[in-house]
Structure 1
Amino acid sequence: MPVYTCTTVQSTLSAGVKAQLAAEVTRIHSMINHVPSTYVNVVFCELPQDAVFTDGQPAQPLLINGWVRTGHPEAQSSQLVAEVASAASRVTGIPAKRVLVVIQNSPAHLAIEGGRALPDPGEEEAWLREGAAEGSEVS
């Protein structure tokens, strides 16, 4: 359900660091939003050295853009963004001043997974039961 896109300059993160960061983002999201880890998607996008700029200058930040369903309490969302940012710096070794994490949201019904509109937060179990009854596969 949630999607986190981690954008860096090519060769900034090793395969092992990517795996650690994906695991940590998944753990944090699952813990804070009370959803199974199987719901969390983490994608890495690497751009050429000359394709990322900060303040008009070539840069090597770590940009993490997360999408979640609208309806999570504000305190949870604030905790989520803070913990993902902290973990990103800790896991990657990239200084906190070069890490940007943005969490965006939209209503669940504006996203489809497994051929069905996503459930509102708190309605995941019923959604999964319904999908199982219909024979849908959910990742």
Structure 2
Amino acid sequence: MPFYRCLIPKGSLNYDQRSEIATAFTDVHCGISAAPRNFVHVAFLEVEEGSPVSDTHGTGVLKYDTPFFIAGGNRAGRPPEVRAQILDGLINRFSEIVSVPRSDVSGHISEAPASWTMEDGEILPEPGEEPAEWYVHDAVAD
């Protein structure tokens, strides 16, 4: 369910950087939250400087004052410190991969109740209440 939209200047990231960021975001999110890896989604939106971007709820416009912005959406239920840790990890990895100062990247994680979201045709449980079979994709073959 985690959905991270990376707002980036047009032409600023190549395919390899995007792929590396998507993998890094999955590592950060799952390493902190223990969510199944196949739940994490990352999208890249190329924007013109100063162009308005609709927020994830369709009720307004995202406001940010950095060249790069991470707009995250997660299930509600985790403590604010965990959300802050996830966002900090995402921003750090993004700035490392893109080779830009951390001050050029900002972000926000909004939340919605788990019951508002489906993944693979299932209404999501609260964080930490996922059945074990959801982690089968994460198992490493011997």
TM-score by length of 2: 0.77
> Helix, strand or coil: the match of 2:97?
helix
Query: What is the alpha-carbon distance in structure 2 between the residues aligned to residue 25 and residue 105 of structure 1?
Result: 17
Query: What is the alpha-carbon distance in structure 2 between the residues aligned to residue 60 and residue 11 of structure 1?
Result: 16
Larger radius of gyration between Structure 1 and Structure 2: 1
RMSD: 2.1
Query: What is the alpha-carbon distance in structure 1 between the residues aligned to residue 50 and residue 86 of structure 2?
Result: 31
Letter in 2 for 1:3: F
Q: Which residue of 2 aligns with 1:2?
A: 2
Identity %: 29
Q: Which residue of 1 aligns with 2:27?
A: 27
8 Å contact 1:119–1:127 — kept in the other structure?
A: no
> Helix, strand or coil: the match of 1:90?
helix
Query: What is the alpha-carbon distance in structure 1 between the residues aligned to residue 116 and residue 96 of structure 2?
Result: 33
Letter in 2 for 1:109: S
**Greater relative contact order (CA < 8 Å, ≥ 6 in sequence):** 2
8 Å contact 1:85–1:96 — kept in the other structure?
A: yes
Query: What is the alpha-carbon distance in structure 2 between the residues aligned to residue 69 and residue 127 of structure 1?
Result: 19
**Does residue 95 of structure 1 match 2:95?**
no
TM-score by length of 1: 0.79
For residue 45 of structure 1, report the CA deviation from its aligned partner.
0.8
Pairing of 1:1-139 with structure 2 (within 5 A): 1-48=1-48, 51=51, 61-125=67-131, 128=134
Letter in 2 for 1:82: D
For residue 110 of structure 1, report the CA deviation from its aligned partner.
1.3
Q: Which region of structure 1 is more displaced relative to structure 2, 103-112 or 20-29?
A: 103-112
8 Å contact 2:71–2:107 — kept in the other structure?
A: yes
Return the structure number with greater helix share: 1
For residue 4 of structure 1, report the CA deviation from its aligned partner.
0.4
Change in 2 beyond 3 A, CA 1:86/1:48: same
Letter in 2 for 1:7: L
For residue 83 of structure 1, report the CA deviation from its aligned partner.
0.9
For residue 113 of structure 1, report the CA deviation from its aligned partner.
2.5
> Helix, strand or coil: the match of 1:13?
coil
Letter in 1 for 2:30: S
In structure 2, the gaps of 5 or more residues are: 53-64, 136-142
8 Å contact 1:62–1:94 — kept in the other structure?
A: no
